[in-house]
A and B are shown apart, each in its own frame.
Chain A
Amino acid sequence: MKSLMMYLCILCLLSGCVETNTIDDINIILAVGLDQSDRKQMMGTFLTDNFMPDKSITNKTYTSKAPLRRDLLIKANHQAAQPLVTGGVSVTVIGEKLGKQGIDDILDIYQGDVTIGARNFFAISEGTAKKILQGQYGPEGNGTYLYNLLDSKIKSKELPETNLHFLLRDYYQKGKDIYLPRLKQISTNQIEISGVSLFKKDKEVDVIPSGKLFYFRLLVDKHNKGFFFVPKNKKEAASIKGLSSKHEFILSKKKPSEVTVQITIKGAIQEYTGKNLGVKQVKEIQKNLEKKVEKECLQLVKSFQKNDTDPMGLGAFYKSRNRGFDYEKWAENYKNLNIKVVCRVTIEEPLII
């Protein structure tokens, strides 16, 4: 009994030993915007939301300038009535200028910070990130809006699969380069995804416009589905629903500097503007699609090589097929690599209405 009392006593006394965080007394950062403000300093924008008595949500941003990211948060904290915490960050937007200068430090911090989850998104903005975060996008608050925007576009396969975990994994893997979705503010209450930025190591080198995202996805995502549209040579056009697609890298056994990207697409025709859709027409559509995919993908691959960036992870693929793989030699030869794109389309039974 005596010892029980002692334990109880200690239990009560010890419970005050740690710092507590009550959810009403903290500001949870939902989105972070990072910009290069001048040569040495970074500008951070931290977005939080306030729940108003009438159940609406207002956005509040805190902006600060400092040379280090950690300092940004500390300085922004000076402005906030309640401490800012990073546990809820769901979107990080990088300013265009910073993206061109290199984001190595930022990725390093995100890798090391245990308070940040692995499922949140990274994006790059056209213009400054601050401007993106300071818009007014929807009743659910900007942070949630941005997260849902990116999440739904990934789920509907309009964007290649990405989140912080994939980003960091690819970034620290030799033989693969990263890419980030681009956000563009159309007006203060509208935003769109305008494409994907390609990086070489930690610097932005090229932009894929949203029109070519479909082909980009075929190259970087292992499995895919999605809608696409094929105009035919004459007057007819067909819309094809992609049921599934996948890509495979095939090494040529004779020539080590030759690799074939084989894309297999399974689809069904959704709509056809011509009069009758017979076997012949289906074949034609199939051929057209194959040609189109091959042409566009090859163009993309060539531009990857021109910019010396490897978002497909060919280096990592070569490594997994060769013992004693030498990355430096690989990096030198990457530009001269002979990459071929072969596309095979199978069209399931045409839909007859």
Chain B
Amino acid sequence: MQEQTIPDRLKISPFLIFYVIMAMQIGLGALDYQRIIAKDAGYDAWISIVFAGTCLHIIVWMIYKIAKIVNGDIVTAHMYVAGNLIGKVLSFPFIFYFLLHSLASLRTLFEILQVWIFPTLNLFWFSLGYMLLSMYVVFGGLRTVVGIAFFSLVLPAFLVFTFFPNLLYSNFESLLPIFDHSVKDLIKGSFHMSLPFIGFEVVLFLYPFIKESQKSEKWAHLGLLATTFLYTILAILTFAFFSEGQLQKVMWPTLMMWKIFKLSFVERFEFIGIAFWNLIILPNVCISIWIGSRLVKRIFKIRQKKGVYLLIIAQLGMITFIHTREEINLLNSLMAKVGFAFTMLYIPLLFIAVYIVKKVKKK
């Protein structure tokens, strides 16, 4: 088995994993998860978020165990389990996974831009501009990509405070009674949290690039905890702000909550929020493209640059074909299902497989 050696100057500090995970998680699904989970679990859905977040800690623990045993990323793990060739074949679909991830993030962002600000926005040209920007970031290497992830979290962090004026217009009694829904409904709600929660699995791909990799585990858990906390708070604020029947009519609850917030220099705050949302989506796209191209490089042994071109062209080609609301919904629900299957089903399976192989190899 080949051991990849990555020079220290290309590696990132362990604590940066915190930002990578949060930046990758927040983006897809973060604008409308409240509506989707409340459909099944009603206003008890915040329990679903806490439950889903707790489950994911186990998955993160598994990811670190896998990575430690094989001392490498998911491709190494596949090769460790199934040999060189089959290992590569198994890793191949993940290129599409990340392509889908960036495609879904980008298309959802564009939909908001089209609905809110520019109804006549030309998809192709705007995505070309966005792609050139992300290409520029990705060519800077992983360290630049992670830097973008850092800034995309820190710069828009003030947005959290803009939800607090809503407290004046909120009614927290609508959250009562707690536990009004069956366990089945709550678990359904947790399942729908998979779209906003996916993204933490990038650790399994970035592992070889982290300095003193095992030290980053606590940061990964912290990142996940922070996201869970943020999502729960935001969900509770949303549930108090909208009534249950109204929430189902609100397309993007997170954005709609800004409608009530008014500053003396800007009548409607959503426009600032949406502008910052561009920045929040950027690391989603950049990290996805970087990992996708990295996988291309590892599997086909071609230069990573070519992989980047390939992914960007594929993305530009596909994005122009997604027009209607239904298609975007389909894309998002597909991403949610694939993400759920990968994180909650495939990673535990891989974990078991790696463990068995380790036992066998020892003998």
Contact = CB atoms under 8 A, between A and B. Distances in A.
B215 interface: no
Interface string A152-180: 00000000000001101111111010000
Contacts of A353: none
A10 B174 contact: no
B246 A173 contact: yes
Nearest to B243: A173
Nearest to B121: A18
Given A14-B125, A173-B243, A322 B177 contact: yes
A169 B120 contact: no
Interface string B117-149: 011111001101100100000000000000000
Contacts of B260: 117-119, 165
B122 A323 contact: no
B179 A323 contact: yes
B1 interface: no
B98 interface: no
Nearest to B248: A172
A103 to B, nearest CB: 15
Nearest to B249: A111
Given A14-B129, A320-B177, A172 B122 contact: no
B126 A17 contact: yes
Contact of A17 (B125, B176, B259, B267): B125
Interface string A106-119: 00100110100111
Given A14-B129, A114-B115, A165-B169, A172 B243 contact: yes
A169 B248 CA distance: 11
Given A169-B242, A316-B174, A320-B173, A18 B180 contact: no
Nearest to A19: B120
B7 interface: no
B317 interface: no
Instruction: Count chain A CB atoms within 10 A of each CB in B116, B179, B245, B270 and give the residue with the most.
Output: B245
A168 B116 CA distance: 20
A14 B116 CA distance: 19
A278 interface: no
Given A17-B126, A19-B118, A114-B116, A165 B259 contact: yes
A7 B180 contact: no
A324 interface: yes
Nearest to B169: A165
Contacts of B249: 108, 111-112, 172
A19 B245 CA distance: 35
A117 B243 contact: no
A321 interface: yes
B243 A170 contact: yes
B103 to A, nearest CB: 21
Interface string A320-332: 1111110000000
B242 to A, nearest CB: 6
Nearest to A7: B132
B129 A10 contact: yes
A17 B122 contact: yes
A111 B250 contact: yes
Contacts of B176: 320-321
B120 A117 contact: no
B306 interface: no
B268 A117 contact: yes
Interface in B254-305: 256, 259-260, 262, 267-268, 270
A70 to B, nearest CB: 14
B244 interface: yes
Contacts of B241: 169
A11 B126 CA distance: 10
A53 to B, nearest CB: 26
A323 B129 contact: no
Contacts of A108: 249
A320 B44 CA distance: 12
Contacts of A320: 173-174, 176-177
A313 to B, nearest CB: 9
B245 A174 contact: yes
A173 B240 CA distance: 12
Contacts of A119: 259-260, 262
Contacts of A14: 125-126, 129
Contacts of B120: 18-19
30 contacts: A10-B128, A14-B126, A14-B129, A17-B125, A17-B126, A18-B121, A18-B122, A87-B267, A88-B267, A114-B256, A114-B270, A117-B262, A165-B260, A169-B243, A170-B243, A171-B246, A172-B245, A172-B249, A173-B243, A173-B246, A174-B244, A174-B245, A176-B243, A316-B243, A317-B173, A320-B176, A320-B177, A322-B177, A323-B179, A323-B180
Interface of A: 7, 10-11, 14, 17-19, 87-88, 108, 111-112, 114, 117-119, 165-166, 168-174, 176, 316-317, 319-325
Given A11-B129, A321-B177, 9 more contacts: A108-B249, A112-B251, A114-B115, A169-B246, A172-B243, A172-B245, A173-B245, A320-B173, A320-B177
Shortest beta-carbon contacts, A-B, top 7: A173-B243, A172-B245, A172-B246, A320-B176, A118-B259, A18-B118, A118-B260
